[in-house]
Chains A and B, each alone.
Chain A
Amino acid sequence: MRAILALADGTVYEGEAFGATTTTVGEVVFNTGMTGYQEALTDPSYAGQLLCLTYPLIGNYGINADDVESKQIQVAGFVVRRLADVYSNWRANESLDGFLRRQGIPGISGVDTRALTRRLRHEGVMMGALGIGDVIADDLIARLNDRANAYDQIDWVRRVTTSKPYSWGPDEGSARFRVSVLDCGIKYNILRELAALGVRATVFPATATADQMLADDPDGLFLSPGPGDPALLGYAVDTVQAVAHSGKPVMGICLGNQLLGCAFGGKTFKLPFGHRGANHPVKDLPTGRVVITSQNHGYALDANSLPSDSVSVTQINLNDGTVEGLQHRELPVFSIQYHPEASPGPRDSTFYFERFIDLMEARR
C-alpha cells in the first residue's frame, strides 16, 4: 500500500506502507546508527517522533524477545529506505513489520532517507505526518499547522513515565544498594546495568516529590533519560533540586543531565537536528581521552548558563562542543548527556555505573 510522509515545509516523500495502517504526526528526526532499530523503537526518548534511520537496510535481523528498552514501541512512526524481505538471526521471533503492526505503529519504506536527512540537516528538525493509502499530502500538511500537535508544546515525559512506583533488580535481602529512580522515560538497560551491579531500583513516576523518593532512605538517586523539551518540566526540576542537595549520590543520564543542569540554575536550548546515533565522540576534559558514545537528544545545556563556581562541565562533544557531562564541585552529583547503558550503541562508557556504585560505597 502507498504511504506518504509530508514535512511541515511542504516536502513530500512517497513510499510503501508497512506496520500499522494508521495516520500519525510527529517531529521528524534521524539516527545514524547502523544497528539497534529494536532498541531505538522502544526507547521512550523517541516518544512523539517519526524516526528515520539513515542506514538503508532495516529489519534484517528481525525482532527478538530480549532487546526491548520499554514495554512498547515508543516512536510515533518509522521511516526507512528498505524494509528487509526476510529476517535472519538466531534470536529473532518476529519480523519488524509484524512488530509494528501488532503494536499499532505505522511505517514507511522506499523513502530516499538520505535526501530526507540532508533536508533535516539544512532546515533543522521539523514536524511531519505519515499517511497511508489515498491520503492527500495537503491534508496531512494541514494537520501540522495545528499547534496542539506541536512536539515542543507537549509534556512527553508525563506520557511515558510509569503510573505507579515499581521495583527492579535483586530483592531487598540480596541487594547491595537501593536506588530511587526518577522515571522520565527510563530504558530497561539502565535498570539491567544497575541490577548487574547489585542495585535494587525503585522506579518513581516523573511527578514524584523529593520526599517520596527519599522516604525509604535510599543509598542513591538516579535521574533517567526522557523525551521532549526540559523547559516544560518545572515539576521535575524542583524534585531534582531537592534530591541533589540531599547529600546522597546522584547520577543522571541524558534528560537527567539537563534536569540537573537546570536544578543548578542552567538553561537548555534546542539543537538544530539533535544528536542521534552511535558514533558521537565525547572528550573527557580531565583525562583528554575520547569515548565513542550512543546519543539520543534534541536539547542541550547551555554551558554559559551554568554556575561555574558550583558545577563543572567535565565532558564535551567533539563535533559541536556542547555539554556532555557535569560534576558538582562539592556534592556527590554527576551526570552525562549520552547513553552509557548503550542499547543500542557502543559499550565504552558503562564504567559510569561503577562510578555511581563507588560514590554510594564511599558513603557507607
Chain B
Amino acid sequence: MPSSDYDSASLPDLLPLYYRRLFPFSQYYRWLNYGGVQKNYFQNREFSFTLKDDIYVRYQSFTTQNELEKEMQKMNPYKIDIGAVYSHRPSQHNTVKSGTFQALEKELVFDIDMTDYDDVRSCCSAADICSKCWTLMTIAIRILDRALRDDFGFQHLLWVYSGRRGVHCWVCDEAARKLSVAARSAVAEYLSLVKGGEETMKKVSLSDPIHPFIRESLLVVEQYFPRYGLQEQDILGRKESVDKHLIKELDLPLTLPSNVRKDLQQDFQNERKPEVRWKLIRDHATKKKAAGKKGHHFDKEIMLQYCYPRLDVNVSKGVNHLLKTIHAFMTTTSLSSLLTRTCSSFNLDQDAFLFPSTLKNWIDLILFAFFFLIPVKTDGITFFSLICEELDRPRIGEEEEKAEDDKDKENEKDAAERRKIRDYKRTSLAKYVKCFDQFLDGIAQSRKGELLRKSDLQKDF
C-alpha cells in the first residue's frame, strides 16, 4: 500500500487490531501510576479521547489498568490526550461540588511546533516538515534538554515526536509534577527568548551581561547556524530574504545604527556569498563591541531569531492543559510521505545528530514515537502493515514457550495475557518499548532513592 493511498478510512479496521495486540498498556499504566506512591494518582488522572468524526470526549478516568484496557479496546480512540491528576475522579467531576474539583498535578510539558517557525523557514510552511527544517527540532531538543537538566535539575525527560509537526517533552520528575501554575510559567519564560507576534519584526533582544543560560544556548545554535541558516535556508543569499528579514530587522534603530546598516547594504551589493556576508555582519558586531557601544549583539540576535526553540508557553503553563500522548494514530494523510523523508534524515544524515552518548536515550525515544503506530511508508509498505506482517510471521525459536502454552491451556486468560505481551515483542516495536521501559526504570529508581532518604530522615528523629 503506497503511502498516498493510506487514508483515515482504513483506521476503523486497524485500530481494534492495534489496541488488542500492540498497545503497550502495561508500560502506559506503569508510567502514569508512578509506583502507586500517591493514593489515587492513576485513578484521578484525566484522559480524553478523540473518536471517529472528531467526537471529543473529555474527563475519562480509570481505576485499573484492566479498566483502561477494556475501555480503550471498546472505544478505539483515534487520539488520546493525557490531562492532569485531579482532586477527584474526573469521570465523576459532575457529582462533586463545583469549585472543589481541581487539577492538582501534572507532568511539566513542552510543545514545540514547527508552524511557529513559519517566518524563519523557507523550505516548508504550516504543517509541512522536511529534513532541512527538522534541524530546528534538533536544536530545540538539545538546548532545552540541557537547560532542564543542568539549570532546573530535572532528570526524567521524555522527548517524543508529537505526531504531526514537532516534538513534545514530558518532564516526569516528582518535583516537576508538583509545580504550581506560576512556577510552570516562570520556567517556560526562562526558556523563551523569541518574543512577539505578527506585529514584531525583531523578536530577540539581548543585553549585557548575557546570562549563562543564553551563552550555553548560543553554543548549540552556533553549531548549526552556518549549515542550517546560511546554506540550507540561505537567509543571506536570496534577495527576498535579505530584505524581508534581515535588512528590515536591522532597520530598527535599536539593533543597528544607520551607518552600519548603510555599510552593510553597500558591502552586500558587492558580495554574494552568504558565508562572507555573514562574516561582514559578525565583523561589524565585533567592531562595535570593541568600541564599547551598546547593542552589539545583533549577530547573536539574528542567529537566535532563526534557530532558537519557540515554545508554546500556554501549553506548559496550565496544570490542566491536555497533551496528546505518544501512542496515537496519525490521521493526516499527506504526512506519511513527509515522515518518511524525516525518518530517512534520521538514518542518513548522521552528522546532524552528533549527540553526546549520554543523550542517546532520548533520540531513541523520538524514534520510538516515530515508528510506533505511525503508518509511515517504508519501501512501498506502510509501517503499520509491516508490523502486522511481523505479527503474522510464524514463531521461530519459540518452541519451548509453545510447550509451556499447552500446559497452561486450562487457564486461557493467562495465555491470552501472555500472548499480548509477546505480540509487540515480535515486531520491530520491541526496541522502542524497551527504551520506554528503561525510562520508566529510571523514574522508579529515583523514587526508591527518595523513599530511602525519607525513611532515613525519619529514623534520625
Partners in one complex: no
A-side interface residues toward B, CB under 8 Å?
none
B-side interface residues toward A, CB under 8 Å?
none
